[in-house]
Amino acid sequence: MQATRAQTPDSPLRCARPSSWERWFNVAGLAAMHFGVVLALWMGARTIDVAIVAGLYLVRMFAITAGYHRYFAHRAFKTSRVFQFLLALIGTTATQKGPLWWAAIHRRHHRESDTPRDVHSPVQRGFWWSHMGWILANEHEEYEPSEVKDLWKYPELRWLDRWHVVPVLALLLGTLFIGGLRGLTWWYCVSTVLVMHGTFTINSLSHVWGHRRFATSDDSRNNPVLALITLGEGWHNNHHRYMHTANQGFYWWQVDISYYALKALSWVGVTWDLRKPPQRVLDEGRRGKPAPFVRVVAADELRAEPRSAAPEPKREPLLAPLPQPADAE
């Protein structure tokens, strides 16, 4: 995916909309990756190919689910600035754009979930739009730096957000150099397409397929199949009930591999202060069947949000612990 032009800290304007050729570059890149998958299947797989694909899938799925989603979008745990950068760097190789863009768009999704202004609601615009169409459209390329003011102050994150295509090309060329055509098609294309469609199922399927434990204001669902594919993201109704948690599987039987990994990292001091849902939320989920989803959209919800200037970035020591926002539901 082509890099989105980042906004300078003192500019009152939004991040610039990509040109038409950049949009077609994104479409062509996506099509080429899927062609690479077809070519890989035609060539056949070796054991080493399957092993490398599995490794790249797990590492990058963790970077998206634990990094882009639970850390950057929701600040569900604390870590050092070095590991913060590592999560962002690996996340960019999943070809889902930069960490600031991803966090801003996802926070917007939670504010407008399943309303006409939702970025990728299958309830509003159907399966294909919510699965892939929205990320290729121009209308969601822009974001306000004020939407990610807690992250904007880190220049290394702004650089990655602006040049997120660089780690993608580095991985692509690395697989080609080490493994030749087989490395490019199997190691890069197959693993990237699997990660992409795996995470996109949360947008397209987890608001229409599954069960509802909590009576949220949207149509989010819990789905154990999607939870396994995405290392725990499939407990989506839980997440929409109480979003600022490191665990999305609220109960012991809800498998959440990303949380298990974060917990293990906390034992060696890489992560800490992993946030969990309060007891009252857990008790609420045990009480029985929630009310059906009903969303009444007021007229003022459809008005455009006012523009705001970007916050001035602050310099911090490299290894300083990172501040977190106050608890919110």
**What is the secondary structure of 193-229 as a DSSP string?**
HHHHHHHHHHHHTTTTSSB-SS--SS---B-HHHHHH
Beta strands 271-272 and 78-79, pairing class: antiparallel
pLDDT digits (tens, 9 = 90+) for 173-212: 999 999 999 999 999 999 999 999 999 999 999 999 999 9
Count CA within 13 A, CB hemisphere, residue 179: 21
With a CB cutoff of 8 Å and minimum separation 6, the contacts of 74 are: 243, 244, 245
- Token reading at 227: 């939870």
Q: Are 172 and 79 in contact (CB under 8 A)?
A: no
pLDDT band at 54 (very low <50, low <70, confident <90, very high): very high
With a CB cutoff of 8 Å and minimum separation 6, the contacts of 188 are: 33, 36, 56, 171, 172, 175, 176
pLDDT digits (tens, 9 = 90+) for 224-270: 999 999 999 999 999 999 999 999 999 999 999 999 999 999 999 99
Say what the pLDDT of residue 84 is. 97
Which has the minimum average pLDDT: 6-20, 94-108, 118-132? 6-20
How far is the C-alpha of 64 from the C-alpha of 59, rounded, in Å?
Answer: 9
Task: Output the pTM of the full model.
Answer: 0.82
Return the sign of the alpha-carbon dihedral for residues 13, 18, 19, 20.
Answer: negative
Q: What is the DSSP letter of 115?
A: S
How far is the C-alpha of 108 from the C-alpha of 4, rounded, in Å?
Answer: 18
Is the per-residue pLDDT at 11 higher than 50? no
Q: Where are the domains of the chain?
A: 20-213
With a CB cutoff of 8 Å and minimum separation 6, the contacts of 194 are: 53, 57
- Token reading at 270: 């890489």
Q: Are 134 and 140 in contact (CB under 8 A)?
A: yes
Q: Are 62 and 28 in contact (CB under 8 A)?
A: no
Say what the pLDDT of residue 213 is. 93
How far is the C-alpha of 77 from the C-alpha of 85, rounded, in Å?
Answer: 15
Say what the pLDDT of residue 103 is. 95
Q: Are 152 and 9 in contact (CB under 8 A)?
A: yes
With a CB cutoff of 8 Å and minimum separation 6, the contacts of 299 are: none
Q: Which of 98, 69, 106 is nearest to 163 (CA)?
A: 98
How far is the C-alpha of 160 from the C-alpha of 201, rounded, in Å?
Answer: 25
- Token reading at 119: 């970025």
Say what the pLDDT of residue 70 is. 97
